[in-house]
């Protein structure tokens, strides 16, 4: 009888422990196991996102470098074109200045030659008058002066 009572007590104790302790503990362990599995999955997802973000960052930096280099090359090209245009424009300006100076020199030379011819004409006229004095009349003197002036124009 004692054995039967102990068997009944053991069965009741096993039932109570199973119902109130074992099942809740097992449920709690399963929940914890599921949470850990979810956390591991989230961790893997986050790691993948971090790797993707790092790759995207490197891609963006590489693209920014390429764009920067492209902009620098374009700026250098633009500066070169501007320099060439300025040199060309300066050459045109120098040519214009040279042409203006030549024209000015030619005009000055022509004025000087005209003045010299007038001076020479009056000197020749005075020389002829002094040389011939009263011997020749005015018409002969004028012909001699004109002849001298024509000869001086040829030289």
Tell me the pLDDT of the chain (155 aa) as tens digits: 889 999 999 999 999 888 888 888 889 999 999 999 999 999 999 999 999 999 999 999 999 999 999 999 999 999 999 999 999 999 999 999 999 999 999 999 999 988 888 887 777 777 767 776 655 566 766 776 677 667 666 65
Domain hosting 59: range is 2-154
With tokens 């764009």, the residue in question is 67
The domain total for the chain is 1
Q: Which residues have C-beta within 8 Å of that of residue 132, sequence separation ≥ 6?
A: 140, 141, 144
The pTM (predicted TM-score) of the whole model is: 0.42
| Distance of alpha carbon 8 from alpha carbon 16, whole angstroms | 12
| Distance of alpha carbon 148 from alpha carbon 122, whole angstroms | 11
C-beta atoms surrounding 128 within 10 Å: 19
Six-digit token string for 41: 């999955």
């Amino acid at each position: 009888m004692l054995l039967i009572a102990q068997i009944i007590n053991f069965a009741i104790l096993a039932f109570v422990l199973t119902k109130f302790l074992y099942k809740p503990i097992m449920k709690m362990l399963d929940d914890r196991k599921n949470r850990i599995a979810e956390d591991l999955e989230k961790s893997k997802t986050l790691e993948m996102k971090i790797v993707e973000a790092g790759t995207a960052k490197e891609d963006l930096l590489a693209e920014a470098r390429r764009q920067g280099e492209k902009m620098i090359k374009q700026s250098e090209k633009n500066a070169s074109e501007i320099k060439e245009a300025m040199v060309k424009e300066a050459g045109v300006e120098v040519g214009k200045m040279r042409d203006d100076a030549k024209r000015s020199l030619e005009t000055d030379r022509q004025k000087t030659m005209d003045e010299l011819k007038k001076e020479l004409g009056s000197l020749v006229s005075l020389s002829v008058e002094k040389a011939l004095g009263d011997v020749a009349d005015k018409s002969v003197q004028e012909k001699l002066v004109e002849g001298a002036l024509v000869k001086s124009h040829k030289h």
